[in-house]
Amino acid sequence: MRVVVGLGNPERRYAHTRHNLGWRVVDGLVLRLGLAAAPDLRHSLVWEGQSTGHRVLAVKPVTYMNRSGLAVAELTRRFEFDLGTELLVVCDDVNLPLGSCRARKEFSSGGHNGLRSIEESVGSQAFPRLRLGVADAGLGQTPLEDYVLEDFPADCRPAVEELIAYAVEGCATWIAEGIEALIARFNRRTDP
């Protein structure tokens, strides 16, 4: 099994915000792999299918970012999978320049409330994550909690679309080949 969880917020007004990159990657992955809508869980929207011999779940928590752990905990109760090898969490990262990707086998939340919620809910930091850089020239001009809930400026949108496509390919690589391949081929840092 492979479970890709894209973090974000469920309301339409958040659809194109920095914090919703994880949701947008899941949307792209669903299209890329031709996944079908599955019965939703209490805390998540779910798509399901097969890819490279693996059962794949693509998941968008509907708990809001700061309570993402509720959704992942529900997944662990409903489905049998290994957190360390069969779960990939995709999220935004204000500590990386826009367009950057950083995959890790395990790491601290780095101050990301969605990751912190997951760590607290599953009692571990030992799950892979793909962090997507969202820091642009607007960082520092508004409080951080407002910045992540703002839409990307128009001049950043081409870079955002490219980043989403890159992350979708990274997720497909992780599904087929695992975290080492994702780290080796998709970690990148862009210049601000």
User: Which residue in the list 16, 19, 54, 112 is annotated as catalytic?
Assistant: 19
Domains of the chain in start order, with CATH, are 2-186 (3.40.50.1470)
How far apart are alpha carbons 38 and 164 in whole angstroms? 23
In degrees and rounded to multiples of 5, residue 8 shows phi and psi of: 175, -170
Which tens digit of pLDDT belongs to each residue from 5-19? 999 999 999 999 999
Cα distances from 3 to residues 10, 149, 172, 192, in angstroms, run: 19, 26, 11, 31
Query: What DSSP element (H or E) covers 37?
Result: strand 36-37
Q: Please give the pLDDT value at position 111.
A: 78
How far apart are alpha carbons 103 and 28 in whole angstroms? 18
How far apart are alpha carbons 90 and 107 in whole angstroms? 13
Which tens digit of pLDDT belongs to each residue from 122-147? 999 999 999 999 999 889 999 999 99
In degrees and rounded to multiples of 5, residue 116 shows phi and psi of: -60, -45
Specify whether 19 is catalytic: yes
Q: Tell me which residue of 115, 112, 120, 119 sits closest to 148, measured CA to CA.
A: 112
How far apart are alpha carbons 7 and 119 in whole angstroms? 14
Which tens digit of pLDDT belongs to each residue from 31-50? 999 999 999 899 999 999 99
Is the per-residue pLDDT at 24 higher than 70? yes
Cα distances from 45 to residues 91, 94, 181, in angstroms, run: 16, 25, 27
